[in-house]
Structure 1
Amino acid sequence: MSKESFKNFWKKFWHLLWKDDSWKGWLFSIIFLFVFIKFIFFPGLSWVTGTQLPLAIVESCSMYHQGGTWPLTSYDSWINSHQTKYKNLNITEQQFSNFKMKNGFNKGDILFITGVKPENIKVGDIIIFIAPTTNPVIHRVIAIRTDPTTNKRIFSTEGDNNNGQLSFENNIQENQILGKAQFKLAPYLGWVKLVFFEAQKSPQERGFCTQR
C-alpha cells in the first residue's frame, strides 16, 4: 500500500469511526469499540496489573457499609455496630481503622484489582478469589494460617456486611487468588450491567443494599 493510499484509507476510517452519523457509522463504532476493549484494552490492563481480572463489578451487598448519622461518620457508625463481630475474630477497632477500604463498597461499584503474591497478603486486605460460585468472590481477609505440610498459606475471608463466613471461606488456597482490591474506581457504574441480571437473582439478593 502506497503512502497516499494509506492516507486515504485512514481518512475514511477516521470519518466512519467518529464523524459518520449514519447507521453504518454507529454500527462500525460499536464494533470497533468492542474489539478494542476486548482484544487490546483488557489484555493490556491485565498485563500491567498482573491479574486476569483487573476490573471487578461488585455484584452483592456483602461488603456494604451504611452511611453514618450525624455527628458520627459512616465508618464510626458502622464500626460501633460491628465491634463484637470483629472482637470475636481477634480484630480490634484500631486494627480495622487502618485497613484499606475500611468503609467497604456498594453493589454496582467497579473496583481496581492488581495481582498480589500470597506472602504479601495481610489480614484486612480485600482479595478476589475463585470460589464454587458463578463468579469470583471479593471479601476481606480475616485470618491467615500456614499449612504445615506444604508450607503454603491458607486464607479465611468474610464479607463486612455478612453475619458469618460462607461455607468455602475458611480454606482459600493460594492458587484460588486472582488479586487484591486497591480502590473503588467507579461507584455504581456497574449497575449498567447488573440491571440485566437482577431478575435471575433470589428476591433477597435483588435491588439496593441494606446493612445487616
Structure 2
Amino acid sequence: MKKGDLKKFFKKFWFVVWQDDSFKGWIFSIIFLLIVIKLIFFPLLTLASGTPLPLVIVESCSMYHGGNLFSNFDNWWKIHERKYFQEEIIKTAFLEFPFKNGFNKGDILFVTGIKPEKVKVGEIIIFNAGERNPIIHRIMSIKEENGIYTFSTRGDNNNGQLFIEKEINQSQLVGRPIANVAPYLGWIKLIFFENAKSSEERGFCNEN
C-alpha cells in the first residue's frame, strides 16, 4: 500500500469512527471502543494492578449494610455485634477496617494484587472458591504454618460462614478491593442475568 493510500485509509477510518453520525458510524465506533478496551485497556490495567481481575462487580448481597452508602454504622453494629464476639472483634476495631459500611450489589470495585503475608484481619479479599465467580468477603482470622497462610472470611451481611470460606489457601487469593469506583453502575450488566438466579438472590438487597 502506497503512503498516499495509507493516509487516505486512516483519514476515512478516523471519520467513520469519530465523526460519522450515521448508524454505520455509531456501529463502527462501538466496535472500535470494545476492541480498544479488550485488547489495550484491560491488559494494561491488569499489569498495573497486579491481578487478573482489576475490576469486579459485586453480584450478591453478602456485604450489604442497610442504607449502604448512607449506612449508620452504630445501628448496623447493634444488629450484628453478636456474630463478631466469638472472633474477638470489637466495635472500635471494626471502625478501622476498610469499607466498614460494606458494599452494595452492583458496585464496581477496583482491585489490586496482594501478598498473603501483607493481609490483615478486617480487610476484604477476593478469592476463588470453585464457584462461578470469585467471592468478596471480609477476613475474620489468619493462620500461618511453615510460611503458608490460611484465611477465614465472612460476608458482613451473612449470619454464618460458608463452608468454602472457613479455610482459604493463599493460592486462592485474587486480590483486594481498594476503591468503590462506581456504586450501583454494575447493575447495567447484572440486570441481564437476574432471571437466571434463584428468587432469594434476585433484586435489591435487604439486611439480614
Same fold (TM over 0.5): yes
- C-alpha contact 1:110 1:190 (8 A) present in aligned 2: yes
Classify the secondary structure of the residue corresponding to 1:14. Answer: helix
Moved more, 126-135 or 13-22: 13-22
2:144 partner amino acid: T
Moved more, 94-103 or 20-29: 20-29
Which ranges in structure 1 are unaligned for 5 or more consecutive residues?
Answer: none
Classify the secondary structure of the residue corresponding to 2:160. Answer: coil
- C-alpha contact 1:131 1:168 (8 A) present in aligned 2: yes
Q: Give the distance between the partners of 2:115 and 2:155, measured in 1 at CA.
A: 21
Task: Specify whether residues 58 and 73 from structure 1 end up closer, same or farther in structure 2 by C-alpha distance, changes over 3 A only.
Answer: closer
Task: Specify whether residues 73 and 177 from structure 1 end up closer, same or farther in structure 2 by C-alpha distance, changes over 3 A only.
Answer: closer
Which ranges in structure 2 are unaligned for 5 or more consecutive residues?
Answer: none
* Residue correspondence of structure 1 range 30-179 to structure 2 within 5 A: 30-67=30-67, 74-147=72-145, 150-179=146-175
Identity of aligned residues (%): 55
Q: Give the distance between the partners of 2:179 and 2:86, measured in 1 at CA.
A: 27
Tell me which residue corresponds to 2:200: 204
The Cα shift of 1:3 comes to 5.2
1:81-130 residue CA offsets vs partner (Å, 9 max, x unmatched): 11111112111111100001001010000001000111110001111000
Classify the secondary structure of the residue corresponding to 2:175. Answer: strand
* Residue correspondence of structure 1 range 5-44 to structure 2 within 5 A: 5-44=5-44
Q: Give the distance between the partners of 1:100 and 1:202, measured in 2 at CA.
A: 30
Q: Give the distance between the partners of 1:146 and 1:120, measured in 2 at CA.
A: 12
Q: Give the distance between the partners of 2:24 and 2:172, measured in 1 at CA.
A: 44
The Cα shift of 1:18 comes to 1.4
The Cα shift of 1:10 comes to 2.6
- C-alpha contact 1:67 1:77 (8 A) present in aligned 2: no
Task: Specify whether residues 181 and 73 from structure 1 end up closer, same or farther in structure 2 by C-alpha distance, changes over 3 A only.
Answer: closer
Tell me which residue corresponds to 1:191: 187
Task: Specify whether residues 3 and 75 from structure 1 end up closer, same or farther in structure 2 by C-alpha distance, changes over 3 A only.
Answer: farther
TM-score normalised according to structure 1 size:
0.93
Q: Give the distance between the partners of 1:151 and 1:122, measured in 2 at CA.
A: 15
Q: Give the distance between the partners of 1:73 and 1:56, measured in 2 at CA.
A: 22
| RMSD over equivalenced CA pairs, Å | 1.6
2:121 partner amino acid: V
Classify the secondary structure of the residue corresponding to 2:177. Answer: strand
Q: Give the distance between the partners of 2:74 and 2:172, measured in 1 at CA.
A: 33
TM-score normalised according to structure 2 size:
0.94
Q: Give the distance between the partners of 2:158 and 2:92, measured in 1 at CA.
A: 21
- C-alpha contact 2:49 2:111 (8 A) present in aligned 1: yes
The Cα shift of 1:4 comes to 4.3
Moved more, 74-83 or 177-186: 74-83
